[in-house]
Amino acid sequence: MGDRLAGRQVIVTCAKDFMGPAICEVFREEGAVVIADTRDLRPVHAAAALIKEAGHVDVLIVNLIAPDPRIVLEQDTTEELWHVMFDSMVHPLYRLVHAVLPQMRERRAGKIVVMGSANALRGTNNRSAYSAARGAQVSYVRSVGLELAPFNVQINLIAQFFVENPTSVPGGKLADMASRLPEIPVGRFAKGRESALFALYLAGSESDFFVGQTIPFAGGWVT
């Protein structure tokens, strides 16, 4: 148990999916008051409602997921699938940040950590719609980070891959995914806790000099 986030109010979106469970656990261990939200953030007013209900927000963890299928040939990518990717991972990001920024700018303090994907940084087969949406997150964070820097508000993104999580790399299926180990320079999958600890660093005061950055967390798969 620690106190790095003692008393700070933290929102974690999609808290039961992707990196939500690991982040909630680690942040609570460090004294944070965690709002583990599980609502569907695709409706237009859902993000603003969440921020309003939470009130004071010190840290916003934007943990967004897209429903399967994500692995689809470009020639088979439908208009519907393309929109689902952006409706799930891009539009909620904008709405969440847009809703929380006024209070953070006024206080001249705040942290936003986006849990993204290394697919945005390296081309992969059959993931054009998914990668495009994750790439949009990267560009948004880069631009908004510059705007927020003068207000002592930092937004950064973790571009992860090969990290154990209940959505895309469940622990019970790691053995089935052993064939992918040669793709990972470090030769193993990361534990979800490792990524959550990195998010903890970006949510704390030690990372105040990180502005609008996308940081790979993929065992060397992308650098």
Q: Which domain holds residue 13?
A: 9-217
CATH classification of the domain holding 109: 3.40.50.720
Average pLDDT over residues 88-100: 98
Structure token digits, residue 160: 């992860």
The model carries a pTM of 0.95
The answer to whether residue 96 scores a pLDDT higher than 90 is yes
The answer to whether residue 41 scores a pLDDT higher than 70 is yes
Q: Looking at residue 69, what DSSP letter applies?
A: P
Mean model confidence pLDDT for the chain:
94
C-alpha 10/C-alpha 88 separation (Å) is 21
pLDDT of residue 37: 98
pLDDT of residue 8: 97
pLDDT of residue 175: 77
Sequence-distant (≥ 6) Cβ neighbours of residue 75 within 8 angstroms = none
3 inside domain: no
Average pLDDT over residues 13-39: 98
68: pLDDT confidence band, cut at 50, 70 and 90? low
Burial per residue of 49-80, b for 16 or more beta-carbon CB atoms within 10 angstroms, e otherwise = ebbeebeebbbbbbbbbbeeebebeeeebeee
Q: Give the H/E segment covering residue 97.
A: helix 91-107
Number of structural domains in the chain: 1
127: pLDDT confidence band, cut at 50, 70 and 90? confident
The answer to whether residue 73 scores a pLDDT higher than 80 is no
223 inside domain: no
17 inside domain: yes
175 inside domain: yes
pLDDT of residue 69: 60
Q: What 3-state DSSP class applies to 140? A: helix
Higher pLDDT, 85 or 176: 85
C-alpha 207/C-alpha 209 separation (Å) is 5
2 inside domain: no
4 inside domain: no
170 inside domain: yes
pLDDT tens profile 52-64? 999 999 999 999 9
The answer to whether residue 195 scores a pLDDT higher than 70 is yes
222 inside domain: no
pLDDT of residue 169: 79
